[in-house]
Amino acid sequence: MAEPLRIAIAGLGTVGTGVIRLLDANREVLERRAGRAIEVVAVNARERAKDRGVDLSPFAWVDDMQAMAARSDVDVVVELVGGSDGPALTLARAALDAGKGFVTANKAMVAHHGMELAELAAINSAPFAFEAAVAGGIPVVKGLREGTAANALTRIYGILNGTCNYILSEMERTGADFDDMLRAAQEQGFAEADPTFDIEGVDAAHKLAILAAIGFGTRIDFEAVRCAGITQVTASDIAQADALGYVVRLVGIASMEGDGRLLQRVRPCLVPFRHPLAAVTGPTNAVVAEGDFSGRLLFQGAGAGDRPTASAVVADLIDIARGQAGAPFSVPVDQLGSAEPGDPGERRGRDYIRFTVADRPGVLAEITAAMRDAGVSIESLIQRGRDHDGGAVQVAMVTHEGPEHCVTEALALLEGSANLAARPLVMPILKD
Amino acid sequence: MAEPLRIAIAGLGTVGTGVIRLLDANREVLERRAGRAIEVVAVNARERAKDRGVDLSPFAWVDDMQAMAARSDVDVVVELVGGSDGPALTLARAALDAGKGFVTANKAMVAHHGMELAELAAINSAPFAFEAAVAGGIPVVKGLREGTAANALTRIYGILNGTCNYILSEMERTGADFDDMLRAAQEQGFAEADPTFDIEGVDAAHKLAILAAIGFGTRIDFEAVRCAGITQVTASDIAQADALGYVVRLVGIASMEGDGRLLQRVRPCLVPFRHPLAAVTGPTNAVVAEGDFSGRLLFQGAGAGDRPTASAVVADLIDIARGQAGAPFSVPVDQLGSAEPGDPGERRGRDYIRFTVADRPGVLAEITAAMRDAGVSIESLIQRGRDHDGGAVQVAMVTHEGPEHCVTEALALLEGSANLAARPLVMPILKD
């Protein structure tokens, strides 16, 4: 049996302690699969004294996590601290610079600095892996890096944020409004005290940018992700969608356009009942990859949580122990291409558009005239009665397929209209 | 750039030509991902003259495929001939003996001889890979071998045969009976002229035995798979299931029992509407793996077809080109355990039982008395009117949870009863 793989863990939150628990619980099977033991040698966290329910006494306590990168008894540093910059990034650079493996669950850091870190890893021939950064316990980074490697992918999309999916599917189940379900999600531990990154779609955008780089062989371009969250989605939108045969899900979509440009977006979408993503409820994640030979592949599972995330962290460690870590983005980082951001205006599709309007004559005439003038063809239109919150009325429509810039133009024509009580909400209809 | 990986392809049916097409279509991206070119050097098939729509002129034609194993210009032999024994097996042994990589889509051969071939591969340090043998284009062999490697799995189950799933989901959609849908499936190319292996569950059993070995780290035990097909499932069963909130799917289930015994079964099951497998229709495959840390993971996609299967074959070739093939069953073959076959009688669950009975007094009394005497508790019972095919009537029931041997005992009590017009059909209800 080969020498053990010796790891240091920075960060002992739920995931860090989950990794320690997993390594202990499955010690024997891990050793058989990895061909060698995986041993924690050093740990670090902000508070040493805190009771975490795991025995830390066998491990060296490191007061300054940056010191981990310099330890000669450490092969791999596992970073579970979080934050796109700051100490996590400093540690990543130091570990890779020292030729150590680096494993992280930090999607924000990989989305922002993944290219730099992959370059450092390549220079130092050091493994760099982040399965846990995307979709929790689902082996989708590996799925795209290796499983679909024979394919030119056309589209990668999915439900990448468990908090949003929990809120939306609970709104659907209960008829409750967004604010109430957010509070419920916080109470049940499915949403953080500051949920901004989740509900505004930023977390999903981090993951999407990482998956797009792997799947399309292009450099990560997080800045190019167009991002909208779910805060504007109302109980009434969900009811309208249901009546039309759809559920509402926050979907990240990356597509390689015909012109070689890469369109990356995170938006609430209408998903047809029969689509596999419609059946994804609660804090579950699901990723679809469409390959030119494989066809549509779906990877689904727990999107977060200490145990699933620990499963992904340790899968990376097993790959490293086996000497099978490979290029973090499937192709060597210096061979990743650069794709210009796609033009969403050129996207052809159908949209759901919801207006909140004053309840007075002429409103529908103004809206439909703007649609006509911008060349938007309306497939169906529902005007429901007065809303409970006063004089506003909801008008929802679904457009025929057409280029998105027409919808944008129509909304521009309506901008500032005294008839609109709120900003319209546009949700694309996911194509089958 | 390293030397190309040179392959020989035995068998130029739809999958073999699919591999040639894929290697041509995605040549550039494959070379970037694999770090070297993947080049076909030699091919073989029964008929040389046949027009296959691909240009074979760049490749050496080999009249006797066994000669491929001896060629010094071949690194990997790709076997797409089929058959569990015979020429395919001879070629596999010869290729591995010669230290060449061996890639196959041949589930029957891997199920029957996978252990021997893995041992040969280990002795000769030769890569041996068979992603395409299970679930077509879905990277589920890799998913279990590497993606879930950190977990002790408790259950692996799924829809492993596209032909059966097409037939069952079309019976569901159209209300047609089995024979009619089988004929339709044959006409549409979803079933072979001799469909026995598919509809009797043998093909699914091959795949299940392979997945169980990988997931549980035990030697393949195909003989221990208890197998029932879908030929007994009627339109009426599907209608009853629907009324009760279920769909019927052929499900392969491998579970590691508490006593360390391995239960492997392929059977038509009732799947609750809300379960992800219920949404799997047509020739799609889906595999669920339940890990102690990952929780429930789902892998879904095309279960067969030339292009998806080619995608899986080439994914294996990329792994080999990268030097990342690893142990074919996740742990070295000499470390695979041996699990005794589990006792299905001990399984606790709920069952759907359908009787076809004579339409006369006392039938229900006889059946329910047998249930009572065997300790089977009935949750619901539906007796429908006279069947179209004469005097027989269908009685369907769902049992409360209990040990399976009680159901077996009840049916034994009824064996030979003049009231039963046909053998009863038992379908377990899939647990969430």
B79 shares its domain with B162 = no
A82 shares its domain with A153 = no
Answer whether B326 sits within 8 Å of A331, measured CB to CB: no
Q: Average pLDDT in the A18-24 region?
A: 98
Is residue B58 assigned to a domain?
Answer: yes
Q: Which residue of A has its CA nearest to B294?
A: A308
User: What is the structure's pLDDT at B99?
Assistant: 98
Is residue B281 assigned to a domain?
Answer: yes
Summary mean pLDDT of chain B: 95
End-to-end CA distance of chain B: 50
Q: Which of A146, A274, A300 sits opposite B298 (nearest CB)?
A: A300
B296 shares its domain with B157 = yes
A145 shares its domain with A226 = yes
Q: Quick one: which of A126, A11, A20 has its CA closest to A79?
A: A11
Cα–Cα distance for residue pair B56/A73, rounded to 1 Å: 55
Instruction: From chain A, pick out residues whose CB is under 8 angstroms from the CB of B330.
Output: 33
Answer whether B29 sits within 8 Å of A295, measured CB to CB: no
**CB B10, CB B91: distance < 8 Å:** yes
Answer whether B297 sits within 8 Å of A137, measured CB to CB: yes
- Rounded to a whole number of angstroms, the distance from the CA of A417 to the nearest CA of chain B is 44
Which residue, among A146, A281, A316, A333, would best test binding to B if mutated, counting the most B CBs under 10 Å from its CB? A146
B73 shares its domain with B163 = no
| CATH for A384 | 3.30.70.260
Secondary structure of residue B392 in the 3-state scheme? strand
User: What is the structure's pLDDT at A382?
Assistant: 87
Q: Quick one: which of B330, B300, B317, B318 has its CA closest to B137?
A: B300
pLDDT tens digits, B237-260: 999 999 999 999 999 999 999 889
Answer whether A293 sits within 8 Å of B315, measured CB to CB: no
- Rounded to a whole number of angstroms, the distance from the CA of A179 to the nearest CA of chain B is 27
| CATH for A97 | 3.40.50.720
pLDDT tens digits, A228-252: 999 999 999 999 999 999 999 999 9
Q: Which of B150, B296, B300 sits opposite A315 (nearest CB)?
A: B150
**CB B18, CB B307: distance < 8 Å:** yes
* End-of-domain residue from the set A133, A168, A191: A133
A262 shares its domain with A293 = yes
Which residue, among B294, B309, B317, would best test binding to A if mutated, counting the most A CBs under 10 Å from its CB? B294
Q: Average pLDDT in the B327-355 region?
A: 95
**Domain region containing A242:** 140-302
pLDDT tens digits, A74-85: 999 999 999 999
Number of independent structural domains in chain A:
3
pTM greater than the 0.90 cutoff: yes
Answer whether A25 sits within 8 Å of B147, measured CB to CB: no
**CB A331, CB A216: distance < 8 Å:** no
A171 shares its domain with A128 = no
Q: Which residue of B has its CA nearest to A328?
A: B33
Q: Decide if pLDDT at A387 tops 60.
A: no
- Rounded to a whole number of angstroms, the distance from the CA of B395 to the nearest CA of chain A is 32
Q: Decide if pLDDT at A389 tops 90.
A: no
Tell the burial category of B302 from Cβ atoms under 10 Å away from its Cβ (0-12, 13-18, 19+).
buried
Which residue, among A154, A172, A294, would best test binding to B if mutated, counting the most B CBs under 10 Å from its CB? A294
Q: Decide if pLDDT at B1 tops 70.
A: no
Is residue A247 assigned to a domain?
Answer: yes
Q: Decide if pLDDT at A374 tops 80.
A: yes
Count CB-CB contacts under 10 A for residue B361. 7
B242 shares its domain with B288 = yes
Q: Average pLDDT in the A358-373 region?
A: 93
Does residue B100 have an active-site annotation? no
Q: Decide if pLDDT at B344 tops 70.
A: yes
pLDDT tens digits, B121-143: 999 999 999 999 999 999 999 99
Is residue B307 assigned to a domain?
Answer: no
B126 shares its domain with B224 = no
Is residue B321 assigned to a domain?
Answer: no
Q: Establish how many alpha carbons lie within 13 A of residue B418's alpha carbon, considering only the half-sphere containing its beta carbon.
A: 3
Q: Which residue of A has its CA nearest to B23?
A: A150
Answer whether A293 sits within 8 Å of B138, measured CB to CB: no
* End-of-domain residue from the set A238, A269, A302: A302
Compute the C-alpha angle A175/B280/B171, nearest 5°.
110
Q: Which residue of B has its CA nearest to A309?
A: B294
Q: Decide if pLDDT at A272 tops 80.
A: yes
A185 shares its domain with A261 = yes
**Rg for chain B, CA atoms, rounded:** 24
**Contacts by residues B231-234 (CB-CB < 8 Å, ≥ 24 positions apart):** B231/B178, B231/B199, B231/B200, B232/B268, B232/B423, B232/B425, B233/B168, B233/B171, B233/B178, B233/B268, B233/B425, B233/B427, B234/B177, B234/B178, B234/B354, B234/B394
Answer whether B33 sits within 8 Å of A331, measured CB to CB: yes
User: What is the structure's pLDDT at B389?
Assistant: 57
| CATH for A241 | 3.30.360.10
Encoding tokens for residue B49? 């003259």
Place of tokens 């999958």: B15
Is residue A340 assigned to a domain?
Answer: no
Q: Decide if pLDDT at A385 tops 90.
A: no
Encoding tokens for residue B62? 């080999």
Compute the C-alpha angle A208/A89/A201, nearest 5°.
25
User: What is the structure's pLDDT at A360?
Assistant: 86
Beta bridge partners of A251: A267
Q: Which of A25, A146, A311 sits opposite B294 (nearest CB)?
A: A311
Which helix (H) or strand (E) segment is B95 a member of?
Answer: helix B87-97
Q: Which of B32, B302, B332 sits opposite A331 (nearest CB)?
A: B32
Q: Average pLDDT in the A363-368 region?
A: 94
* End-of-domain residue from the set B105, B133, B161: B133
Secondary structure of residue B128 in the 3-state scheme? strand
Cα–Cα distance for residue pair A342/A226, rounded to 1 Å: 10
Is residue B268 assigned to a domain?
Answer: yes
- Rounded to a whole number of angstroms, the distance from the CA of B234 to the nearest CA of chain A is 25
B290 shares its domain with B368 = no
Answer whether A315 sits within 8 Å of B142, measured CB to CB: no
pLDDT tens digits, B285-303: 999 999 999 999 999 999 9
pLDDT tens digits, A45-102: 999 999 999 999 999 999 999 999 999 999 999 999 999 999 999 999 999 999 999 9
B107 shares its domain with B148 = no
Give this complex's ipTM: 0.95
Is residue B309 assigned to a domain?
Answer: no
